[in-house]
Amino acid sequence: MANDQPANNKAKARVLIVDDEPALLDIYSTKLRTDGFDVSTAVDGVEGTEAIVNNPPDIVLLDVIMPGKDGFEVLKDIKANPKTKGIPVIVLSNLGQEYEVKRGIALGANLFLTKADLTPAKIEEAVVKVLQKYGIMK
């Protein structure tokens, strides 16, 4: 049986991006798809939580400030659910205060990145790093 997956194993990694900024969703998802990831998106915390529970991804990129349910609430909910608590989460936020970073980590985020410091390439590097740490990617 032929294997059409790239040797780097990225195509097997499913990434969910939860962010209410359409431009950022487009930039991040385009970069990750171009590099072989299976990417889906959600535009708010409620939709993101439903997507995580109904079709658990390998990793979540999660904004904090969103309508409906903020990223901290999403993080708290998915980490409290036995079905989703093991999913790695990278918080991407415009917030960068130390107490906000500590709150995100305390709620179960694996990484807390400030959007102002990010490029699409840095997002991909962070995704790969976390997926490798969890043995999802080689």
Contact 123, 28 (CB under 8 A): yes
Domain boundaries, the chain: 11-133
Q: 136 — alpha (psi -120 to 50), left (phi > 0) or beta?
A: alpha
pLDDT band at residue 6 under the 50/70/90 scheme: very low
pLDDT at 3: 36
Q: What tens digit of pLDDT does each residue of 93-128 get?
A: 987 789 999 999 999 999 999 998 889 999 999 999
Q: What is the mean pLDDT of residues 60-82?
A: 96
Q: What is the pTM of this model?
A: 0.91
For residues 78 and 107, what is the distance between their CA atoms, to the nearest angstrom?
Answer: 10
Q: Which CATH architecture has domain 11-133?
A: 3-Layer(aba) Sandwich (3.40)
Residue 41 main-chain phi, psi, to 5 deg: -135, 160
For residues 113 and 125, what is the distance between their CA atoms, to the nearest angstrom?
Answer: 12
Q: Helices 120-133 and 22-34 sit at what angle, rounded to 10 degrees?
A: 60
C-alpha angle with apex 69: 12 to 133, nearest 5 degrees?
A: 30
Q: What tens digit of pLDDT does each residue of 10-61 get?
A: 557 999 999 999 999 999 999 999 999 999 999 999 999 999 999 999 999 9
